[in-house]
Amino acid sequence: MECYAYLEGKGINSYIPPHGTYEGGPEGFKYVPSQDHYICPNGAIVPFKKVFLDHRTQTKKREYRISSKICRDCPLASGCLGKTAKEKKFSVTYYREEYEHNNARLATPKGRAMKAKRLSTVEPVFGILTQFMGLRKINTLGIQQANKVMHLSAMAYNLKKYLKFVEKRAESEARVLVLQESLKRIYTYLRLMLVSPSKISVNPRY
């Protein structure tokens, strides 16, 4: 969620797909930004109480809670509180405003075009790298080493695509076989580097 606030602070419009950890206010509750509180369906104010870190999702949230004295005499209490709760309490994503700005942009024609572009360019590559090329996690320490792994991944992916491309463009069958053999060796080496880099020679011979 922090990425939405960071990009908005930099003046950059984000078009990021909604994240599963987002939590808005409960249905029927109206948020009043100027007072930072909610108004329940019966007209009572649900004030802000604290900021906390959700231990399950490790995301920052804001807690809102109303007094049990108010909920006790409310005619909507049985449907609003459930069977055991004595007061209305709920949490809301800390970066709720920035998240909703992002979602509003996603609903625009440009947002839909950006989604279509992502689905046709970025996500297929990510899926192949994680599902078929062993890049479910990066087994290195530090940004620089992780960056090397990602470069190797990109090289392996591009070689795989190129192998299919040259089959259609090569001038003779012999040329196809020679080129394929060379590229397959490079591709195999790169894949092994991704899975177990410690077992690969520093200067491989093809």
Same domain, 14 and 56: yes
* 156 lies in some domain: yes
The letter for the amino acid at 114 is M
Q: In the chain, where do the E strands start and end?
A: 30-32, 37-39, 45-53, 60-65, 89-93
Range of the domain at 187: 122-199
Do 128 and 189 sit in the same domain of this protein?
Answer: yes
pLDDT band at 69 (very low <50, low <70, confident <90, very high): confident
Mean pLDDT rounded to a whole number for the chain: 81
Report whether pLDDT(197) > 70: no
If asked whether residues 8 and 101 sit together in one domain, one would say yes
| pLDDT, greater one: 41 or 195 | 41
The DSSP symbol for 17 reads P
Position 129 scores a pLDDT of 82
Residue 34 above 50 pLDDT? yes
Cα 191 to Cα 195: distance, rounded to the nearest angstrom: 6
The stretch 72-95 carries a mean pLDDT of 86
Comparing C-alpha atoms, which of 126, 110, 130 is closest to residue 195?
130
| pTM for this model (two decimals) | 0.58
